[in-house]
Amino acid sequence: MAAAGAVAAGFTSCTGGGGSAPATLKAEADRNEAPDFSLVDAGGQTVKLSELKGKVVLLNFWATWCAPCRIEIPWFVDMEREFKDQGFAVVGVSMDEDGWEVVKPFISDMKVNYRMVLGTEELAQLYSGVQALPTSFVIDRNGRIASTHMGIVSRSVFEEEIRALLQNKGTSGGA
């Protein structure tokens, strides 16, 4: 998947001039509805994705055993802190088979400040891109998937996308 990085880099290289949306974002017309789910978080509260409509959501599938996932998590902690008040939320989906027994100590060690749920095979199937970890979906305020990232990508790619979507600049499609 090294070439996937080249693909992402290729999209980025097509980014237009100042003020335009990142080219990694799909055009609004091409975005599909993010499949809804309802799962319980580490604190026992229900997280229902559709209830986050109106916010930009970064949905991150990960696992404790996934080394590249561990690079991204501190970024997401920072992003949750920086953008939360602007209508942004990170939702982590752990795919650990051992469940909270391993996930809770891990997220405590990593000082995770965003909502975390345990994923299921059904959920992974709903998000058909989840064949490897990390896989992240950036969801716009209308609950539509604006970008999908398989494998680790750079922090700046996420930040550019989030900023653009928070400003509702997500209409780029490159045409």
Binding site for another protein (CB under 8 A): 1-5, 7, 10-11, 14, 16, 23, 63-71, 95, 97, 102, 106, 129, 131-135, 150-152, 174-175
Whose Cβ is closer to another protein: residue 54's or residue 99's? 99
* 44 CB burial (10 A radius; 0-12, 13-18, 19+): exposed
CA distance to 4, 61, 67, 82, per residue, from 1 (Å): 5, 17, 15, 30
Contact 96, 64 (CB under 8 A): yes
Least distance CB 5 / another protein (angstroms)? 6
Residue 60 to residue 75: CA distance in whole angstroms: 12
- Assess whether the previous peptide bond of 134 is cis (omega < 30° from 0): yes
Least distance CB 71 / another protein (angstroms)? 5
Whose Cβ is closer to another protein: residue 75's or residue 83's? 75
Least distance CB 104 / another protein (angstroms)? 13
Least distance CB 27 / another protein (angstroms)? 10
Side-chain half-sphere CA neighbours of 26 within 13 A: 16
Whose Cβ is closer to another protein: residue 85's or residue 111's? 111
Whose Cβ is closer to another protein: residue 87's or residue 151's? 151
